[in-house]
Amino acid sequence: MNNLGHSKKCIREERLMVKIEWDDSLSVGIPLIDEQHKMLIQRLQALVHAIETFQSVTEIVKTLDFLIEYTNFHFSTEEKHMNETQYPGLTYHQTQHEEFKATLRDLTVDFEEDGATRALAESVNTFLMNWLVTHIKSVDVQFGTFLMEKGRIL
Ligand SMILES: [Fe+2]
C-alpha cells in the first residue's frame, strides 16, 4: 500500500476507534455479572475489530453471531436472578434487553444486505458500545445493588 493509502486507512481507524476497556467504574458489585460484562465487551471489540480491519461480510456476521450468542446467554443469566429474587425492576430491565437484542438482529440483516458500510461501522462503534456502558452503569448497577442488599452471592 502506498503512503497515501496508508494514511487514509489510519485516519479512518483513528476516527472509528472507540476503545472501551472494562474497569472498576463498570463494576456492578456482583463478580459473576462483572465477568460476563467483561466477556461481552471483548466480543463487542472483536466485532469492531473485524469491521475496522475490513474483514469480509461473512466474517463480520460471524463475529456478530458470536456476540449475539453471548448476549442472549448473559441477559438470560441476569433475568434468571431477577426472577428468582422477585426484582421489582424486572419488566423494565427485560424490555431494555429485548430492545438491544432486536438492534443486534437488525444489524445482522443490515450487514447481510448492505455489507460493512461506514454508517454501519459507526453505529456498531458508537451505538452498541454506548448502549452497553450506559446500560451497565444504570440498570445493571441498580440490579447489582439490589442483589448485594439481599445478600445474594453470585
Ligand atoms: Fe442488564
Going by pLDDT thresholds of 50, 70 and 90, the confidence category of residue 7 is: very low
Q: Please tell me what DSSP assigns to residue 116.
A: S
Going by pLDDT thresholds of 50, 70 and 90, the confidence category of residue 18 is: low
109 Rama sector, left if φ>0, alpha if ψ -120 to 50, beta otherwise:
alpha
* Domains along the sequence of the chain with CATH: 29-149 (1.20.120.50)
Q: Is the dihedral of CA 121, 135, 22, 38 positive or negative?
A: negative
Residue 78 C-alpha to ligand 1 middle, in angstroms? 6
pLDDT in tens, 19-47: 678 999 999 999 999 999 999 999 999 99
Contact predicate 141/28, CB 8 Å: yes
Going by pLDDT thresholds of 50, 70 and 90, the confidence category of residue 72 is: very high
pTM of the model: 0.84
pLDDT in tens, 109-146: 988 898 888 778 777 878 888 899 999 999 999 999 99
pLDDT in tens, 52-63: 888 888 999 999
Ligand 1 ion: nearby residues, β-carbon < 5 Å? 78, 140
CA atoms of 44 and 12, how far apart (whole Å): 19
Residue 3 C-alpha to ligand 1 middle, in angstroms? 45
Residue 27 C-alpha to ligand 1 middle, in angstroms? 12
Which cell goes with 77?
A: 443469566
